[in-house]
Amino acid sequence: MAKQKEKQKLIANNKKAYHDYFIEENYEAGIALHGTEVKSMRQGKCSIKESFIRIENGEVYVYGMHVSPYEKGNIFNKDPLRVKKLLLHRYEINKLSGKVAEKGLTLVPLQVYFKEGKVKVEIGLARGKKLYDKRQDIAKKDQRREAEKDFKVKNL
């Protein structure tokens, strides 16, 4: 039987992470949510700009992930900034905790999306950029933009 194409609906993207870090490896994790949080995410009300991930007591948690309260949720709504547990296999957690123990590596959430009806978080194992690295990236983007602009003008 042919493998069905995976449908992914993006909820939140962390562009700041790509600007501030070199992403070395990506992992996909599930996330433990309550019902009204999932409903709010279906409406696209989630932000991971200021969030970060920690490994504590063999479990992975995401801090600072803002899920807006569901309008029709009344008493069932949870705190928008509550700490949420990420769901990974034990061997993945052990591998990540070993790599995070290295100097300069951290875990950052890159994307939150729906995959086959379930909310997933893409985690990046990241190394921080220095100021000169960021300047180089900005210069490369400017050069690429200029080249595309010249190419567009020539082909008109």
Average pLDDT of 121-129? 86
- pLDDT tens for each residue of 52-95: 888 888 899 999 888 888 777 676 677 777 888 889 899 988 88
- pLDDT tens for each residue of 127-156: 887 777 778 888 888 888 888 877 777 776
**Measured between alpha carbons, how far is residue 25 from residues 6, 79, 95, 108, 123 in Å?**
21, 31, 12, 11, 8
- pLDDT tens for each residue of 33-44: 877 788 888 888
> Three-state SS across 88-118?
CCHHHHHHHHHHHCCCCEEEEEEEEEEECCE
Contact 84, 61 (CB under 8 A): yes
Q: Which CATH number fits domain 9-129: 2.60.40.1080, 3.40.50.1100, 2.40.280.10, 3.40.50.2300?
A: 2.40.280.10
Q: Is residue 98 over pLDDT 80?
A: yes
**If you search the block for the tokens 């909310």, which residue do you land on?**
119
The domain locations on the chain are 9-129
Q: What pLDDT is attached to residue 127?
A: 84
